[in-house]
Amino acid sequence: MKLTIYTECPTEVYFQPLRYLQEQKKIKLEIIDSRLFYLPLLKLKLFLKREKKEYIKGSVFSSWIAPIKLLFSDKILLGFSPYSNAVYYLLFLKLIKKDLIYYTSWPHWDQKRGRSNWFWNRFLWRLFLKKTKKIGVNDACAKVLDNIEIIYHSVDTELFKPEKKRLNVLYVGRLEEEKGILDLITLSEEFKNITFTFVGNGKLKPLIKGDNIEYFGEIWNREKLANVFNQSSIFVLNSYKTENWEEVFGLSVLEAMSSGLAVISTDCIGPKRIITNGEDGFLIPQRNINILRDKLNLVIKDNKIRERLGKNGRKKVLENYDIKKIGEKWEKFLSNPSN
């Protein structure tokens, strides 16, 4: 079976169960970056800066010829943000009866949220989504979209696994305000005896400094990233929703749980569907530094609670989010004649 993924977000980690199926020779997989004009500009910018980004691997040539190539593809998985102008081409593919699957994590299709959310785009997207096969990465999607199968993101539990821990607080993700970074920086100044570890990049990068702060930059190599997770003890995801964005899943939460960390996360729509509060992590209100401080103080001081949350989190990931189990769900879905 050949599956072509056409997406504006070709980040490999989102498709790792499909890569796993490819390694098992269950499917043939091709991922094509849909950003016809942005991709070459991005590559030129990196070339001029003499930088290398491991996640920017797409071929410019493949991107340019993709609109024609897809006309001869049998099964196509589409990954585009809500209300993207790509809907014109998606509707064309649907019109010529290509075998399409739309892949989404956005649970707010029934609300006027998201970028490019204006009347005409909403109308065209309703046309495209109607009766189109869909994969959602969280069950909130099923409440607003029909004809959808829920298949979660996954973790390689053999890579992200508990090892000897040191007492630190880890954050992995974009260094932006909506990720709650400013609160973490404030708390790092209060918990001076605890190391705060940051992995990522973004506008707030210049603020990531202090005697008890270590900054590793961006880490896209999975083995290197797993090593940071595996040796850490506490993970914090302090995101809050905005008009155009929300933490709709939280893959880093899964990676932390798989690695046996005690997880503290805000109750965004994604993390609150992963974490059972008080059992395998703590869920806290958004934009509330006082409660974050209290929970952080608790898991730092109480070794038993920290270990219990880590152990239960690891167990949940093994049972529900392991890459092999999620891969099996993808295989079953793709091999179903009705899909």
**What pLDDT, on the 0 to 100 scale, is given for residue 35?**
83
Please write the tens of the pLDDT for every residue from 259-302: 999 999 999 999 999 999 999 999 999 999 999 999 999 999 99
Q: Where are the domains of the chain?
A: 2-154+323-335, 168-320
Residues 6+ positions from 97 with CB-CB distance below 8 Å: none
Looking at domain 2-154+323-335, its CATH architecture is: 3-Layer(aba) Sandwich (3.40)
Mean pLDDT of the chain: 93
Question: In this structure, which CATH number among 3.40.50.2000, 3.90.1150.10, 3.30.479.10, 3.40.50.970 belongs to the domain 168-320?
Answer: 3.40.50.2000
Burial of 191 (0-12, 13-18, 19+ CB in 10 A): middle
Return the amino acid letter for 92. F
Q: Is the pLDDT of residue 50 over 70?
A: no
Q: What band does 61 get if pLDDT is binned at 50, 70 and 90?
A: confident
- pLDDT tier, 62 (very low <50, low <70, confident <90, very high otherwise): confident
In this predicted structure, the answer to whether residue 17 has a pLDDT above a threshold of 80 is yes
Is the pLDDT assigned to residue 53 strictly greater than 80? no
Whether 2-154+323-335 and 168-320 share one fold: the answer is yes
Q: Which long-range contacts (CB under 8 A, 24 or more apart) does 293-296 make?
A: 293/187, 293/190, 295/264, 296/169, 296/187, 296/191, 296/234, 296/236, 296/264
Global pTM reads: 0.92
Beta bridge partners of 76: 4, 100
